A and B are shown apart, each in its own frame.
Chain A
Amino acid sequence: MNHPQNNREENRNVEVWEDLVYIKELVLSIVICSVTTLGGYFIAPDESSQPLFYGLTGALLGFIIASILIKPKRIFNEVEGEDV
Chain B
Amino acid sequence: MMDPMLVLQMVLAAVIAATLYTIIGVAPGTDETAVLAPVTLVLVLAGFEPIVILTFFISAIIAKKLTDSIPVAIAGIPGGVMSAPMVEHALVLKKHGMPDLSIRKMASGSVIGTLIGVPVSLLLANALAPLADEIKAFADPIFFIGAIFLALMSKNRWIALVSIIPLALLIQGLRHLYWGVGIVPEDTNVFISFFLGITIGPVILTLFELLNHDKRVSLPRYGKKEIFLKKSAQQKGFPNPFKILTKMEVGISSLTSFVGTITFFLSPVGMTILLGETVSSGVKDPVKRASRAISSMDALTNAAYIGGTLIPLIALGIPLSPTAIGPANALFNAPPVYSLEHNLHHILSTADFVWATLIGAAVALLITYFVTVKYALPICKFVFRKVPHEAMLGLLFALVLMLAYMDAGWLNIGGVLLIGLVAGFLHRLGVHYGVQFMTLYAAPWIVNNLFL
* B225: contacting residue among A34, A37, A75, CB under 8 A: A75
B391 CB contacts on chain A under 8 angstroms: 29, 33, 63, 66-67, 70
B387 contacts A67, C-beta separation under 8 Å: yes
Interface residues of A in 17-75 (CB under 8 A from B): 17-23, 25-26, 28-34, 36-38, 41, 48-49, 51-53, 55-56, 58-59, 62-63, 66-67, 70-75
Contact with A along B383-394 (1 / 0, CB 8 A): 011111111111
B390 CB contacts on chain A under 8 angstroms: 21-22, 25-26, 28-29, 66, 70
Q: A49-B47, A62-B398, A72-B385 are in contact. Are A84 and B29 (CB under 8 A)?
A: no
B28 at the A interface (CB under 8 A): yes
Contact with A along B376-413 (1 / 0, CB 8 A): 00000100111111111111011101100110000000
* Closest Cβ–Cβ distance, residue B273 to chain A (whole Å): 19
The distance in angstroms between the C-alpha atoms of A1 and B69, with both chains bound, is 18
* Closest Cβ–Cβ distance, residue B446 to chain A (whole Å): 30
* B223: contacting residue among A3, A15, A67, CB under 8 A: A3
What is the interface of chain B mostly: helix, strand, loop, or mixed? helix
Q: A13-B222, A62-B394 are in contact. Are A72 and B389 (CB under 8 A)?
A: yes
B221 contacts A67, C-beta separation under 8 Å: no
B210 at the A interface (CB under 8 A): yes
B222 CB contacts on chain A under 8 angstroms: 1-4, 11, 13-15, 20, 73
* Closest Cβ–Cβ distance, residue A2 to chain B (whole Å): 8
Stretch of B94-102, B133-141, B244-252, B311-319 with 4 or more beta carbons under 8 angstroms from chain A: B94-102
Interface size class, chain B: 35 or more
A17 contacts B202, C-beta separation under 8 Å: yes
Closest to B383 in A: A72
Interface residues of B in 203-223 (CB under 8 A from A): 203, 206-207, 210, 216, 219-223
B221 contacts A4, C-beta separation under 8 Å: yes
* Closest Cβ–Cβ distance, residue B98 to chain A (whole Å): 10
Closest to B29 in A: A18
A5 CB contacts on chain B under 8 angstroms: 223
B5 CB contacts on chain A under 8 angstroms: none
B283 at the A interface (CB under 8 A): no
B394 contacts A56, C-beta separation under 8 Å: no
* A67: contacting residue among B42, B45, B225, B388, CB under 8 A: B388
A58 CB contacts on chain B under 8 angstroms: 398
A28 CB contacts on chain B under 8 angstroms: 390
A23 contacts B210, C-beta separation under 8 Å: yes
User: Which 7 A-B residue pairings sit nearest by Cβ, starting from the closest?
Assistant: A6-B223, A18-B29, A29-B394, A33-B398, A33-B394, A66-B391, A37-B398
Binding site for B on A (CB under 8 A): 1-6, 8-23, 25-26, 28-34, 36-38, 41, 48-49, 51-53, 55-56, 58-59, 62-63, 66-67, 70-84
> Can you list 30 A-B pairs, Cβ within 8 angstroms, ordered by A?
A1-B225, A14-B220, A17-B29, A19-B28, A19-B29, A20-B389, A21-B390, A25-B388, A26-B393, A28-B390, A29-B391, A36-B398, A37-B398, A38-B402, A38-B405, A55-B402, A58-B398, A59-B402, A63-B392, A63-B394, A66-B390, A70-B390, A72-B387, A72-B389, A76-B381, A76-B384, A77-B229, A78-B231, A79-B229, A80-B231
